[in-house]
Amino acid sequence: MNWRLIFTSGFILSVLFQWPAQACSDDSCYPTWNLKKDLLDTCNNAPFLSPANDSRINLQLLLADSSHIPLTSPASDNYYKEKGYALVPFPADFTEFSESSDNEAAAQSHSASTLFTLAVQLGVSRETATALLTQSPRWEGSRCASNNPQTALLYLQQLAQTRDIPSSERQQLAQSRLVMIQNCAPDPEQQSAFLPGEIKSPAGQLFATYQQGAQAFYNGDFAQAIAAFNELGLSSHPWLKETATYMKGRVFLNAAQQNAFDEMGFPSNDKVDLAALQAAESAFNAYLNTYPQGHYSTSAQGLLRRVFWLMNDQKRLAQAYAYWFEHPLSETNITSNQLIQEIDNKLLMSSSDNSMIENPQLLAIMDLVLMRQRSSDDSRLPLTLTQLQAQESRFSAQPALYTYLLAAYALYVEKDADKTLSILPERAAGKIPDSLAFSQQTLRGFALESQEQWSRAEQLWLDLLSAVTEPLQRQQLELALAMNYERSGKTEQVFASRSPVRTPMIREILLRNVASPALLRQQITQPQSEQEHDIALFTLLYKDLTRGFYADFLQDLTLLPEKASTLPLFMGFTYNTQQALALFQWNGKNATDYQCPALRDIAQTLQDDNTHPQALNCLGEFIFRHGLDDFPLNNQPEAQELGGTESQFTGKFFSRLDGYQQVIASKQATHEDKAYALYRAVNCFAPSGYNSCGTQDIPLTQRKQWFDTLKSRFGDTRWAQQLKYYW
């Protein structure tokens, strides 16, 4: 999977999609084509500030507004296309990789290469350096994560620049530092084996002391580590002195949290060593005061956030996170993905108490979460209007954001469209400047549609389409406009020659679920693409056949080429085998001994006599053999979704069980036809007892009667002999 929606300047929109979803996973996510939702759905997010969005999405949108960084167009991703996604809506775990992680891997590779070259220059043999660096382990999720080629390179660079160390000692120190990469947190008894041997020069001894302190730190011997770094803190070597000052904070922090996490990684604040934690805070502050632009200043700031989190100090933690709404994310030493995940986990989702949150953006995200429709497992109290109004002073720097929250509350919680429209500003001329402005106009459109002011909402969506440049925003507007046309009875407008609705999946959903036979035939003759032609033709033929329009089916079948395409088409199914146009050239062959003619002949027979027993059985066989009992075209989407209005293709869907029941009751059916219909009717309930051939509720007594009839009156048939049970 490589679909990346990225911000320029290295700000990664794929952060929106990286994390494991809270309400779904790769195996269960599917698109829900509905924009106006108030229930959390991490599988279906939109690029406006919505209560239904994953909180990380809303955080990402507000960070983007603060940075004034535009979105760029994404590439294609077949993985999610196969699940039926376009661009909007999108799942929170849209991709497992980001541009940041690619850059990180490239940086690590470059560091390892440079480290090898420098190690050889310092006297380490090429063979030894190759052996030690060929497979550098990754110590994810522990303090050993910083024991990597990048930090080793920094050590060797300082070693190379320190001239008053004999070359033999430099070689020993360099080699032992490479060995440390491979042996983080070893057995204490083996620790000395990884340290340099006889080092006599004063400068060399300082570098050896650093290695002793670092090795003790990684090994969990915090007392020895502090002793070593205290000694180096008195050194005159600039880098060693700075590094020791920084490392003391890390030592105290690790000592403070060493017993704070259970085996599943969840923290217990009562098990934190508060004295050590306070020492860590003092050490990091001392480092930042002395080295505000030092080698480790961004790391120290990040570790201070961890200190605040372990102290359960939400006020200072929120202040630390608020920093990033005013500064570029390039100043961090972690990826954008990691920072947003950290903010979400450690602040936004940790508590519903926002009394300590002064930053308006963070407060807004928490408010939107509390505006959601309550799920059964959500213990947080809903937000009241009084509480929201009491926050006004905290939004003094972001008054438009506060106004938006009032409008969102009116629409999502109070269900008052008039109030929403009275709160939100009319759209100003020109381009949409940011996500907040886009969100304001999105709510206006929703409010107008809630009042069934379809024409005004349509005009708003059209105006916005000319005012946005971001792909995600454009596709949201295409979806909103398509739903507007559908619900106002103007579905054909989506397919007008100059329609702005160009997203294939949106158009195809309407063709599959709502389009009339006339509209389908129109798009067969003037499609937007070859795929749209095939979708329209498949839908037309399928509905002709399964709604009883056999004459139309025979006529429309002439639109198929002599050898129809076998290319699978996405018809709304997510997890079953897709079908192709070649389906309608079925020759009647199957895995049973019940003989059927070709599909064309079945349709011709039913056109002549729609009660013909063999033809009804064979139409059922066609459905059964191709797994069409629960095919998406058999039913409409949910009413609130795109394609959820009443289909303009009339007629009732033919279910296999309806056909079998007709044959069972038929006086003209042959002995063989009735036996086969009974056999299949009973098997419709195998093995679960639920009907897999339609929606009918058939009592168990009736199913037993079918079984008994087959066994008694038709016991001489292969179908009676094959059937052993009823369900």
Residues 312 and 293: their CA atoms lie apart, in Å, by 28
Q: Which two tokens stand for residue 108?
A: 């690590």
Which residue, 400, 315, 412, 407, is CA-closest to 370? 412
CA distance 516 to 287: 71
- Is residue 567 within 8 A of residue 580, CB to CB? The reply is yes
Expressed as residue numbers, the domain containing 677 is 512-722
For residue 632, whether the previous peptide bond is cis, meaning omega lies within 30 degrees of 0, is no
Q: Evaluate whether residue 702 is within a structural domain.
A: yes
Query: Residue 408 burial (CB < 10 Å; 0-12/13-18/19+)?
Result: buried
Counting the structural domains of the chain, the total is: 1
Q: State the average pLDDT over residues 348-357.
A: 83
267 φ/ψ angles, rounded to the nearest 5 degrees: -85, 150
Across the chain, how many H-helices and E-strands are there? Answer: 30, 0
Biggest alpha carbon–alpha carbon distance for the chain: 109
pLDDT of 96 reads 35
CB 339 within 8 A of CB 20: no
Tokens of 358: 């002064």
- Are 280 and 253 in contact, with CB atoms under 8 Å apart? yes
Residue 610 to residues 365, 547, 549, 599, Cα–Cα distance (Å):
60, 12, 10, 14
The 3-state secondary structure of 237-281, one letter per residue: CHHHHHHHHHHHHHHHHHHHHCCCECCCCCECHHHCCHHHHHHHH
What single-letter DSSP state applies at residue 579?
A: B
Q: Distance between CA 681 and CA 675 in Å, rounded?
A: 10
Single out the residue of 458, 433, 441, 364 nearest to residue 48, CA to CA.
Answer: 441
The whole-angstrom separation of Cα 240 and Cα 155 is: 9
Q: Does the residue 607 lie in any domain? A: yes
Q: How confident is the model at residue 575 (pLDDT cuts 50, 70, 90)?
A: low
161 C-beta neighbours (distance < 10 Å), count: 8
Query: Which residue is associated with the tokens 């059916």?
Result: 669
pLDDT in tens, 188-200: 666 666 677 789 9
The pLDDT value recorded for residue 22 is: 38
pLDDT score recorded for residue 1: 34
Considering the domain boundaries, does residue 120 fall inside one? no
**Residue 112 counted as domain residue:** no
pLDDT level of residue 333 (50, 70, 90 thresholds): confident
Chain segment 638-653, per-residue pLDDT in tens: 999 999 999 999 999 9
Q: What is the mean pLDDT of residues 450-467?
A: 97
Whole-prediction pTM: 0.86
Pick the range with the lowest mean pLDDT from 129-138, 164-173, 284-293, 332-341. 129-138
Identity of residue 581: L
Contact (Cβ atoms closer than 8 angstroms) between residue 723 and residue 682: yes
Q: What is the pLDDT of residue 141?
A: 63
Q: Which residues pair with 649 in a beta bridge?
A: none
In a domain, residue 664? The reply is yes
Nearest alpha-carbon partner for 559 in 524, 587, 602, 519? 524
Task: Read off the pLDDT of each residue in 206-231 and give the average, rounded to a whole number.
Answer: 94
Enumerate the H helices of 526-563 as residue ranges. Answer: 530-546, 550-556
Among 212-216, 331-335, 493-497, 602-606, the minimum mean pLDDT is found in: 331-335
Q: Are 352 and 366 in contact (CB under 8 A)?
A: yes
Q: Regarding predicted confidence, which is higher, 186 or 431? A: 431
What DSSP string runs through 67-135?
A: HT--B------HHHHTTT--SSSB-TTS-S--HHHHHHHHHHHHHHHHHHHHHHHTT--HHHHHHHHTT
**569 secondary structure, DSSP code:** B
pLDDT, residue 191, reads 61
Q: Angle 238-257/297-310 helices, nearest 10 degrees?
A: 20
How sure is the predictor about 267, in pLDDT bands with cuts at 50, 70 and 90? Answer: confident
Out of 90-99, 288-297, 317-326, 559-568, pick the least confident.
Answer: 90-99
Give just the sign of the alpha carbon dihedral 198, 202, 205, 207.
Answer: negative
The C-alpha angle with vertex 502 and arms to 545 and 628, in degrees rounded to 5, equals: 25
Query: Average pLDDT, stretch 617-629?
Result: 95
Which range is least confidently modeled, 101-110, 210-219, 320-329, 459-468? 101-110
User: By mean pLDDT, which of 107-116, 144-153, 647-656 is the weakest?
Assistant: 107-116
- 22-36, 336-350, 436-450, 556-570: least confident range: 22-36
Q: Is 228 domain-assigned?
A: no
With beta carbons less than 8 A apart as the criterion, state whether 97 and 135 touch: no
**Amino acid sitting at position 318:** A
By percentage, how much of the chain surpasses pLDDT 70? 89
Residue 696 falls inside a structural domain = yes
User: Is the CB of residue 75 less than 8 Å from the CB of residue 462?
Assistant: no
Asked if 155 contacts 115 with a C-beta cutoff of 8 angstroms, the reply is no
DSSP 52: T
Considering the domain boundaries, does residue 644 fall inside one?
A: yes
CB 638 within 8 Å of CB 644: yes
pLDDT recorded at residue 9: 31
Measure CA 392 to chain center. Answer: 33
- From the list 351, 266, 249, 350, the residue with the least C-alpha distance to 302 is 249
Q: Is the pLDDT of residue 98 over 70?
A: no
Count CB atoms within 10 A of the CB of residue 280.
Answer: 26
Q: Is it the case that residue 420 has pLDDT exceeding 80?
A: yes
- The answer to whether 449 touches 426, Cβ cutoff 8 Å, is no
Q: Which residue bears the tokens 């009732």?
A: 652
Q: What does pLDDT average to over the chain? A: 88
Cβ of 645: how many Cβ atoms within 10 Å? 19
Dihedral, CA of residue 204, residue 210, residue 214 and residue 219, to nearest 10: 70
